[in-house]
Homo-oligomer: A and B are copies of this chain.
């Protein structure tokens, strides 16, 4: 346990000049200077990109319960252990263990116009399998959950329901487009099963027209038979839709996905105890698990290594936090949030107060700012308190706005601190989200590092000024 880090020489000289030449220098200039040094450190000597390369290319995809997820837990614990924090520990949590099984098959069978057509599909996460012989049935296209209710068993029973409502491309923020369509993926199978459907196909949740299927979790409903669900690429969804307007289309689908027994896994937590206000916790975090395809680079390797780099950058600048700084790499955000639940339970059991928490889970793209969320009773007061910080952050293209924080930290809201969602440029995110192409090379080093710097800067301000 040591906090006596060396100060880089140039920084030392600058600080010396600062204090000798400007005895009257105000706090805002000092803050601007420190934030500038945060950016310099992240851009010149940040570690996020190297750590991400290891997570993505040496370890690979990290689905909860998998050996890779365990390897990722071990790796980031080792990295945090090198940082001279006061404590680094594993926080146990129970996670589902889903297995995709063999490569999915989705095939239009004996179309009059097109013969046999293979479609690119990926089982939705948590989906059960079709049985080893697969399922062949007539396809019925719908645009919404409600339409399934409207059609009812007479139209739905025995069929494969094909959810095909696209993301709205005119939304400037692609997360809004995603939010407007994702009910089909999450709830579509249960809804269709209620009316006797035998399986579900879902248009992939992306703003692109391409050949890449996107997985992601579904939720079955108690008392409703679980039926298999596979996402198909948007190009294939367009093809299937066109064809099914011209003729009765039958599809063969086969997957061997299954849910195994839950497993014990871990959140990885590193902590520096606050020198002055140890009971006021500042959290930075991302989630360590990913889907089992691709490398989980943007989702959410990027968020993990950025959160870790917050600690690294502050350490390199010899910054000793007044408040307790906690870096949390959550397990199982994707399909159960076992890690978030364990963290919440522990935090409330210990009567903790998270003054501020930042989650990075929207990709490693150029930073735009932070969405801010808090209990209604405290939001306005805390939000106003941050207003003067804008002058310090806007030179880096950052802004604060009202909005949700993130799946792993939002349950801390009753503690009445401020919850932040780190917000990067959203245009490319759903090109990669939950796909085989969410790989290391899709992340740009500078963009990633600017995110580390943005998060570090906000942590610095929260630590220095608090929110009371």
Query: Chain A interface (Cβ within 8 Å of chain B)?
Result: 39-40, 43-44, 169-170, 172, 174, 207-208, 366, 368, 395-397, 425, 427-428, 431, 444-447, 450
Contact = CB atoms under 8 A, between A and B. Distances in A.
B170 A44 contact: yes
Given A207-B446, A208-B445, A446-B207, A169 B44 contact: yes
Contact of A172 (B170, B172, B174, B397): B397
Contacts of A39: 170, 172
A452 to B, nearest CB: 14
A118 B148 CA distance: 64
Nearest to A396: B172
Contacts of A174: 446
Given A169-B446, A170-B43, A396-B172, A425 B425 contact: yes
Contacts of A428: 444, 446-447
Contacts of A169: 43-44, 446
Nearest to A40: B170
A136 B450 CA distance: 42
Nearest to A428: B444
Given A39-B170, A207-B446, A428-B447, 10 more contacts: A40-B170, A43-B170, A44-B169, A44-B170, A172-B395, A172-B450, A366-B366, A366-B427, A427-B444, A428-B446
20 contacts: A39-B170, A39-B172, A40-B170, A43-B169, A43-B170, A44-B169, A169-B446, A172-B395, A172-B397, A172-B450, A208-B445, A366-B366, A366-B425, A366-B427, A368-B397, A427-B444, A427-B447, A427-B450, A428-B444, A428-B447
Which 6 A/B pairs are nearest by Cβ-Cβ distance?
Answer: A427-B446, A40-B170, A43-B169, A427-B447, A366-B425, A366-B427
B425 A444 contact: no
A169 B170 CA distance: 34
Contacts of A447: 427-428
A174 B445 CA distance: 13
A174 B207 CA distance: 28
A180 to B, nearest CB: 15
Contacts of A446: 169, 174, 207, 427-428
Contacts of A43: 169-170
A40 B172 CA distance: 10
A208 B441 CA distance: 13
Contacts of A44: 169-170
Nearest to A368: B397
Contacts of A368: 397
A15 B431 CA distance: 34
Question: Which has the most chain B C-beta neighbours within 10 Å: A43, A396, A427, A445?
Answer: A427
A447 B426 CA distance: 10
A431 B445 CA distance: 10
Contacts of A40: 170
Contacts of A207: 446
A44 B167 CA distance: 12
A34 to B, nearest CB: 14
A336 to B, nearest CB: 31
Contacts of A427: 366, 444, 446-447, 450
A427 B368 CA distance: 13
A397 B368 CA distance: 10
Nearest to A37: B170
A208 B43 CA distance: 11
A170 to B, nearest CB: 5
A39 B168 CA distance: 13
A170 B207 CA distance: 33
A431 B425 CA distance: 18
A366 B395 CA distance: 18
